Structure 1
Amino acid sequence: MESSDKVTNSNKYRLLSDASPDELTQLARQVNASPWRQHYHIQPNTGLLNDPNGFAHYNGQYHLFYQWHPFGPVHGMKYWYHVTSTDLVHWEDAGVGIEPGDPYDSHGAYSGSALAEDGVLYLFYTGNTRDEDWSRHPYQCLAVLDQQGHISKQNTPIIESPPLGYTDHFRDPKVWKAADSYYAVLGAQRLNQTGCVLVYRSDDLQNWSLTGELETSLTDFGYMWECPDYFELGEKGVLLFCPQGLPAEKDRFENIHQAGFLLGEQINPEKPHFHHGSFTELDRGFDFYAAQTTLTPDGRRILIGWMGLPDTSYPTDTHGWAHCLTLPRELTIENGKLMQRPVKEMELLRKESYTAVHTVQDSEILIDEMYGSSYELHCAIHMEGAAKAGITFRTGDTEETLLYYDTLSKYLILDRTRSGQTMENDTGSIRRYALDAKMIDLHLFVDQSSVEVFINDGEAVMTARIFPAKDSNGVAFFTEGGKATFDAVHWLYT
């Protein structure tokens, strides 16, 4: 994935080897002093993190890479940074994965995917290059991770240029195997400035040929489609992608760029036509983009996304870092719906617990035993006549984040108007999810500067970065215009 900002400042395209002796040490000191460092989310040691890349299970571990610019919270020279895990929850730092700077990735190792095959992990990525006129020339590149953990880049690209009829916005290969062939989907832009996905095929992972454009009903749907991911689940075909340039609608497409999916019939990648339903956003909150999935050894389809957005400033920018990744989510299809739930392994983080049942009428009650900046909260709200009922969390003297159900409008509302230091954007501080229910099941994962809300057992998710003061740690239940019962359990994580 690439920011739309046309950066010409050569300082942003330095390599790590160009850093002064104590530059990164000083930057790390600044980053570690930030009050909004996360406790259990993947985040960069310094600089900017964006898209998750190369997510795969190989050699007894989960391998995950992410786009990384080490020198600050800006989009510049991108590395692949590598972390590993045996349980999807506790991640070990494995250092730089792919270092750019060679002829076919001179201006960054951009997004891609991984495939375990032949005893190694193949890493497919887009090599970003720029000429003296700052014109883009993308190459699709290959690197290999062996069983000793060593990564070697191949000297020549596997796809040298976009096909005729498409611009140089051509990137983010996601590769999979079907029968005895290999396929890849890539994000692309037609010459008429509309986005699409291209399908490629290979017999050996080295020689790739264009099968064709994936035919969908969305012929004019944004100016570029980034970060595609095709997989099959529950006898259905699922295409994830990020269309850029969609106009905002009421309660849809309100973020600067969108991330979502099409659900339909399984495709034949040799004749790529996709019969599908409507485009649906993966996350109904504020900060979510560039999702990628993999399969676990026990057959679960797991998704991780970037908890951030392109072309957006965050309060942590002044501390020398930006962004994190979401929690892993297990995907299933139930009654024709794509469901997202936190992976069961998140239970490994649970420590002290507290259970409470409270009936509240036209008031707010602070739950003294529920508090903190790093916890899990599962709450069922039984609407018993209340016009509004919900939870305030990360509350302090002047700060709170609101999550509540409005029975009149039939919306679940996430409001970060008073969540702390504000974002520099013009997309508003409220997100709504249409819901008609007498009982609302809310599963919150709160970290030092974020919240992820799973709604009604995975029917929808709302993700938000929030930046409250350190002592804004309270939790309260409230109702207006009637009564509701809150049945909740809270687990501290730290």
Structure 2
Amino acid sequence: MSDLDQSLRNRAYKEVEVHKEVVESDQYRLNYHVMPPVGLLNDPNGFIQFNGVYHLFYQWNPFKTDHGAKFWGHYSSTDLVKWKHHDIALTPSDWFDKNGCYSGSAIEHDQKLYVFYTGNVKDKQNNRETYQVMAVSEDGYTFEKKGVVIELPEGYTAHFRDPKVWKHDDTFYLIIGAQSKDLTGKAVLFRSNNLVEWEHLGAIAGAHMGPLGDFGYMWECPDLFELGGQDVMIFSPQGLEPSGIHYQNLYQAGYVLGKLDYNQVQFDHGSFVELDRGFEFYAPQTTIDENGRRILIGWMGMPEEREDAHPTIEHKWVHAMTIPRELKLVDGKLYQRPVEELKRLRNEEVAYSEVELASEPKSFDGIDGTSLEIYFEPLEEMTELVTIRFRENGSISYDPATKQLKLDRVSFVDGQTVEERFCDLEQVKNLRIFLDTSSIELFVNDGEEVFTARIYPDHDQQNITFAAEKNVRVLLKAWKL
């Protein structure tokens, strides 16, 4: 470890210690989500199960609550429920990553953990260089950087980052998010026999390629994997214009389904589908665990949003991860479901087997608080508007007349504006709602649609109410988490 590396680590640890009390005193610290111990958290990195332990690395700026030279922070878990924070995995301490160890991924090979990330370098005029870097660990906790394995190919700008690596048959593949010289987003493929020497195969998907047309000026965080007999590519395009109820956030995260021909290096795929209909969801990354599950975790935040508007910055931290979600391919659509292990969080179950909702909002004993899971199931097809209002800060509603489900919240920027997000939905079969002190994650119809958002109600605002324009019979369950 170099002197600079040790110095940066010491400074980061000092920030954690100095601000520990003010961070932990924040009423908006979450109870069951991954958060930074101080400073800013963004993209999940290197998500993998290695030697029976789930490792989740993350983009971390420990020195302030906005973006800067990123470290790789590190959490681990044996059950995807309880997470332990560890020493820093990677520091921006070498010539090829001195302005940030940017996002990347991990793979196990020969009983070692290999991580690949983007080294960010800027000169005094803010000109950028990017390098794809490899580091290796024997235990999953301490890493040795091996240096640059991929330099910028011809045809792309320096916005070339976020390598995701996997093995297909006996060959390693790596996909990178990129911007081509014509300022359009691309997903670029490489292959290798040894993880060190990489062959550039070219862009396999992008704006003005295939069915997507004009589709953004930069693609970030691509992730390609097989699920249910199809190849799924998740990515985060930047530069999409809003279209009706779609693409309402500053940037998007979604997927395409298709088939990658590894021999012809051709990816035939369909249209883009948003993964999350809420406000804060970006840069998701997946892994496959020892049980064969494809598990996703996303960043519960958004690039270039107003970090200074989040009330948590007064307490020296900002942003969090989503809960882990298992992916399933159902009738040609990607479903997201909370992993089964999250049921271990449940306490104090209450159940109302058949209740009748009416126009007067109604609350129920045990269905309130700041951290809970709620299950809602109509006992008959809903023909009237139904609204669930949570903590005086927002609501979930379904209107059968328009066949749209809506999540709204009070803006944390001005504390007054009501912001809305929608999805089209033929009917509501069930809702599963995860509330935490400052977040909501809504899973609709066993994960057919998902909404993720940060919310900031006052701590004493704990009431949750249910109403319908005309009588509707429903099943309700809830658990404290």
* Class of the TM-score when normalised by the shorter of the 2 chains: over 0.9
Change over 3 Å in CA distance of 1:427–1:289 after alignment to 2: farther
SS of alignment partner, residue 318 of structure 1: helix
2:476 aligned with 1:488, yes or no? yes
Give the distance between the partners of 1:253 and 1:329, measured in 2 at CA: 22
Give the distance between the partners of 1:431 and 1:425, measured in 2 at CA: 17
Task: Please name the residue that 2:297 is paired with.
Answer: 304
Give the distance between the partners of 1:335 and 1:385, measured in 2 at CA: 23
Report the AA paired with residue 211 of structure 1: L
2:352 aligned with 1:352, yes or no? no
Change over 3 Å in CA distance of 1:416–1:349 after alignment to 2: same
Task: Please name the residue that 2:3 is paired with.
Answer: none
Task: Please name the residue that 2:318 is paired with.
Answer: 322
Change over 3 Å in CA distance of 1:117–1:41 after alignment to 2: same
Report the AA paired with residue 282 of structure 2: Y
Task: Please name the residue that 1:372 is paired with.
Answer: 369
Change over 3 Å in CA distance of 1:436–1:20 after alignment to 2: closer
Report the AA paired with residue 340 of structure 2: K
Q: Deviations over 1:129-184 (max 9, x none)?
A: 11222110000001112127321111x20012x21111100000000001111000
Once the two structures are superposed, the pairs formed by residues 58-207 of structure 1 within 5 Å of their partners are 58-147=50-139, 149-154=141-146, 156-160=147-151, 162-207=152-197
Give the distance between the partners of 1:195 and 1:36, measured in 2 at CA: 36
How far residue 360 of structure 1 moved from its aligned partner, in angstroms, is: 1.6
Indicate if the aligned counterparts of 1:383 and 1:389 stay in contact, CA closer than 8 A.
no
SS of alignment partner, residue 108 of structure 2: strand
Report the AA paired with residue 199 of structure 1: L
How far residue 28 of structure 1 moved from its aligned partner, in angstroms, is: 2.5
237, 243, 247: which one pairs with 2:237? 243
Indicate if the aligned counterparts of 1:386 and 1:483 stay in contact, CA closer than 8 A.
no
Give the distance between the partners of 1:105 and 1:371, measured in 2 at CA: 47
How far residue 17 of structure 1 moved from its aligned partner, in angstroms, is: 5.1
Indicate if the aligned counterparts of 2:15 and 2:38 stay in contact, CA closer than 8 A.
no
Measured on the aligned residues, the alpha-carbon RMSD in Å equals 2.0
Indicate if the aligned counterparts of 1:256 and 1:427 stay in contact, CA closer than 8 A.
no
Unpaired runs of at least 5, structure 2: 1-5
Give the distance between the partners of 1:271 and 1:78, measured in 2 at CA: 37
Give the distance between the partners of 2:149 and 2:258, measured in 1 at CA: 30
SS of alignment partner, residue 364 of structure 1: coil
Task: Please name the residue that 1:6 is paired with.
Answer: none
Give the distance between the partners of 2:394 and 2:182, measured in 1 at CA: 43
How far residue 440 of structure 1 moved from its aligned partner, in angstroms, is: 3.4
Paired residues, number: 468
SS of alignment partner, residue 367 of structure 1: coil
Task: Please name the residue that 1:400 is paired with.
Answer: 393
TM-score of the pair, normalised by structure 1? 0.91
Report the AA paired with residue 195 of structure 2: L
SS of alignment partner, residue 453 of structure 2: strand
Give the distance between the partners of 1:427 and 1:451, measured in 2 at CA: 18
Report the AA paired with residue 295 of structure 1: I
Give the distance between the partners of 1:118 and 1:489, measured in 2 at CA: 47
Report the AA paired with residue 341 of structure 1: R
SS of alignment partner, residue 376 of structure 2: strand
Give the distance between the partners of 1:111 and 1:315, measured in 2 at CA: 26
SS of alignment partner, residue 429 of structure 1: strand
Task: Please name the residue that 1:333 is paired with.
Answer: 329
Q: Deviations over 1:67-117 (max 9, x none)?
A: 000012100010111111111111111221111121110001000000011
Sequence identity (%): 44
Indicate if the aligned counterparts of 2:16 and 2:37 stay in contact, CA closer than 8 A.
no
192, 195, 198: which one pairs with 1:208? 198
Give the distance between the partners of 1:290 and 1:129, measured in 2 at CA: 21
Give the distance between the partners of 1:424 and 1:145, measured in 2 at CA: 46
Give the distance between the partners of 2:140 and 2:45, measured in 1 at CA: 20
How far residue 425 of structure 1 moved from its aligned partner, in angstroms, is: 11
Give the distance between the partners of 2:284 and 2:315, measured in 1 at CA: 26
How far residue 41 of structure 1 moved from its aligned partner, in angstroms, is: 0.2
Unpaired runs of at least 5, structure 1: 1-13
SS of alignment partner, residue 16 of structure 1: helix
Change over 3 Å in CA distance of 1:478–1:428 after alignment to 2: closer
Task: Please name the residue that 1:9 is paired with.
Answer: none
2:455 aligned with 1:466, yes or no? yes
2:435 aligned with 1:442, yes or no? no
Report the AA paired with residue 334 of structure 1: V
How far residue 19 of structure 1 moved from its aligned partner, in angstroms, is: 3.7
How far residue 386 of structure 1 moved from its aligned partner, in angstroms, is: 5.1
Report the AA paired with residue 268 of structure 2: H
Moved more, 32-41 or 314-323: 314-323
How far residue 15 of structure 1 moved from its aligned partner, in angstroms, is: 6.8
Report the AA paired with residue 248 of structure 1: P
Indicate if the aligned counterparts of 1:381 and 1:390 stay in contact, CA closer than 8 A.
no
Change over 3 Å in CA distance of 1:232–1:98 after alignment to 2: same
Report the AA paired with residue 370 of structure 1: I
Task: Please name the residue that 1:254 is paired with.
Answer: 248
How far residue 427 of structure 1 moved from its aligned partner, in angstroms, is: 10
SS of alignment partner, residue 324 of structure 1: coil
TM-score of the pair, normalised by structure 2? 0.93
Report the AA paired with residue 338 of structure 1: L
Give the distance between the partners of 2:7 and 2:17, measured in 1 at CA: 16
Q: Deviations over 1:35-68 (max 9, x none)?
A: 1000000000000000000001111201110000
How far residue 264 of structure 1 moved from its aligned partner, in angstroms, is: 1.5
Task: Please name the residue that 1:32 is paired with.
Answer: 24
